[in-house]
Amino acid sequence: LHNRRWLEEMYTRELSRSNSGNLHLSAFMLDIDHFKKINDTYGHLVGDRVLIAVAKSILHCLRPTDMPVRYGGEEFTIFLPGTSIENAKIVGERLRASIESMKIQLPDQDDSISVTISVGFTERKDGDTVETIIKRADDALYYAKEAGRNKVCVNLGDGTMFLF
């Protein structure tokens, strides 16, 4: 996945394109639920395996034009150009279900572990900056986490949040 440096340039460019053409653009923030517990229980090698498996699953669920980034730690962000809030809901649930169904093999063992993610998303509003759209998606992410994790939440931008 891309990194934060790439995000600054490409997300700014995509947001500008979306604003100037009044095009749909949805933004996601997601993170792996209880990731610290995974590292503390199984070690950082397993934590790395989890990050790689989640990143691969994210890529598998997206179109080539979508823009996934490892935001930091166990957090990821995604811009979905040309994607309405209704279609973003479908993508968010696809991401959540795909990762929930994964089995991640533990090294040198017959056991595997499963992980879940919490997802927050929003749609571009007039006047958005990269920071404001990511902040709205992040607020939805934390709403999903507070509601019990392994959920998808949309932030409509007017203070209204809906869980799926």
Q: Around Cβ 11, how many Cβ atoms within 10 Å?
A: 23
Nearest to 18 by CA among 125, 136, 91: 125
Which one is catalytic: 8, 9, 14, 74?
74
Cβ(124)–Cβ(155) below 8 Å: no
Q: Cα separation of 161 and 147, whole Å?
A: 11
Name the residue with tokens 């957090």: 75
Overall residue count recorded for the chain in this entry: 164
Active site residue 74: yes
Cβ atoms 137, 30 nearer than 8 A = no
Cα-only R_g, the chain: 16
Q: How far apart are CA 77 and CA 90, in angstroms?
A: 16
Catalytic positions, please?
A: 74
